[in-house]
Amino acid sequence: MKDYFNQFKDEWVEKMSRAISSMPLSEQEKGVADIFVEGFEELGVEHYRDKAGNVIGILRGEEGGPTIMTNGHMDVVPAGNMDAWHALDLEPFTPVVRDGKLYGRGTVDMLQGVMCPFFAFREIKKLVDNGAKLKGNLVFTAVVNEEPAESMGALYLCDTTLQELNIKPDFVILGEPTNGYVLTAQRGKVEIVVDVYGKVAHSSAPWQGISAVEKARPVMDAIINNMYKKRMTHDVLGFSAMTITDIEVTPGRMYSCVPDHCSITVDRRYVLPTTIEETIQEIQDFLDFLSANDPDFKAEVHQRINTRTGYTGYAMEVAKQHPAWLTDTSCEYVKKTFDALRKIGQDPKEGCFVAGTDGSITMGKYGIPTVSYSMADGNMAHQPGEFCVIDDEMKEIEGYTAILCDIFGLDFDSIG
């Protein structure tokens, strides 16, 4: 690693610590957003905080070159089991440096994944200030509300903000934790709700009603058994999966009633070429089969739709989903990403996400070639005692800087 990048350790830890301490849960990311807004003000570059609360920094160069966008989310998940943190002598939102590691909720997923690209952005700005010609545009984006698996921030960014700013990315680099790999694909995820209806009655006389739970049993069996079908597989994305994550029954335990409503939440992970619409139709077909053979069976299926309100007060209806995506590794920017990292001594392997990311919007919805790169250990995401290795994060800043230099044709060796 270039010794040059080690000089950023103290500043990186300071900014990360400030971000962690701001407790940036979903819809509460203002503290992190402020760090980046202040940073871009200091740099004197074009920047925006959009209506949803996303932060965008832009370094515009010469026409004819590519527009490269880095992207990461600013929100983190809640602390979880506090006893597990305390057993490690840690508080989730009190950053601690210990044995070369920075501890705190969100260090891995994914405050490091927006902070390191910001430092790399600054390095490209320094090169330009020193007379280098930027052939294209560099766009930094930090978005809100990714963790609920609805991509509110990324949707608003791509649907509205980028279009208003006349920015059309040619390539997107996510900062999700990848252990130094370059991940080029992701299984799809959709949350589906199956509502099964019955007829309420006093539980002392269940024959007078129709139990929604009993009517829901064949639906739950089918979901547990993957709709009685062989699961689909994909050479890159892996295999499909379906599981029940929640069951809500009403009237419920407070009353002596035969339940007239059973709501089943289904987490469906799918692989291409399947679509979200097809995954929902698969369940609908089974419900139609049950209805045709049982006049008392009544059920509906639909996607989970939630309303999210960001820290700016902007509200938006969003589906709980992460569409599948797959970037062609023959893309010139993907090749340059691998080449640049290898030139500086890193050894990135190719891989695929198991969980969801905002690549579902950039590549899944908009078809913009997207990869993810980070030195952080994805196995630490959402865990008690979450930490990242500070030396590795300096390598990540170096990696982002090298990738951007390679794509834009800048002299990486002149840095420092």
Same structural domain, 168 and 285: no
End position of a domain, from candidates 254, 277, 307: 307
Per-residue pLDDT, 201: 95
Same structural domain, 163 and 217: no
What residues make up the domain containing 394?
3-186+324-414
Same structural domain, 57 and 138: yes
Same structural domain, 158 and 22: yes
**Which tokens in the block code for residue 56?**
């965008």
Residue 398 within a domain = yes
Same structural domain, 25 and 155: yes
Asked if residue 215 lies in contact with residue 262, where contact means CB atoms within 8 angstroms, the answer is: yes
Residue 318 within a domain = no
Side-chain half-sphere CA neighbours of 224 within 13 A: 7
Please give the model's pTM, rounded to 2 decimal places: 0.93
The one-digit pLDDT tens for each residue of the chain (416 residues) are: 578 999 999 999 999 999 999 999 999 999 999 999 999 999 999 999 999 999 999 999 988 899 999 999 999 999 999 999 999 999 999 999 999 999 999 999 999 999 999 999 999 999 999 999 999 999 999 999 999 989 999 999 999 999 999 999 999 999 999 999 999 999 999 999 999 999 999 999 999 999 999 999 999 999 999 999 999 999 999 999 999 999 999 998 888 999 999 999 999 999 999 999 999 999 999 999 999 999 999 999 999 999 999 999 999 999 999 999 999 999 999 999 999 999 999 999 999 998 899 999 999 999 999 999 999 999 999 999 999 999 999 999 999 999 999 999 999 998 97
Per-residue pLDDT, 384: 96
| CATH assignment of the domain containing 118 | 3.40.630.10
Per-residue pLDDT, 173: 98
* Domains: count for the chain: 2
**Which tokens in the block code for residue 374?**
């980070």
Residue 317 within a domain = no
Same structural domain, 234 and 180: no
Asked if residue 106 lies in contact with residue 112, where contact means CB atoms within 8 angstroms, the answer is: no
Per-residue pLDDT, 253: 87
Nearest CA-CA partner of 107 in 12, 2, 10: 12
Nearest CA-CA partner of 302 in 274, 317, 283, 323: 283
Same structural domain, 31 and 50: yes
DSSP type of residue 232: P
Per-residue pLDDT, 355: 87
Same structural domain, 359 and 227: no
Place of tokens 């600054």: 122
Same structural domain, 408 and 380: yes
End position of a domain, from candidates 307, 337, 352: 307
CA–CA dist 155, 378 (Å, integer): 24
Asked if residue 347 lies in contact with residue 175, where contact means CB atoms within 8 angstroms, the answer is: no
Residue 143 within a domain = yes
**Rg of the chain's alpha carbons, rounded to an integer?**
24
Residue 312 within a domain = no
* Burial class (CB within 10 angstroms; exposed 0-12, middle 13-18, buried 19+) of 331: middle
Residue 314 within a domain = no
Same structural domain, 390 and 341: yes
Residue 228 within a domain = yes
No. of H helices and E strands in the chain?
11, 23
Same structural domain, 27 and 137: yes
| CATH assignment of the domain containing 248 | 3.30.70.360
Same structural domain, 99 and 178: yes
Quick check: helix, strand or coil at residue 375?
A: coil
Residue 95 within a domain = yes
End position of a domain, from candidates 280, 307, 334: 307
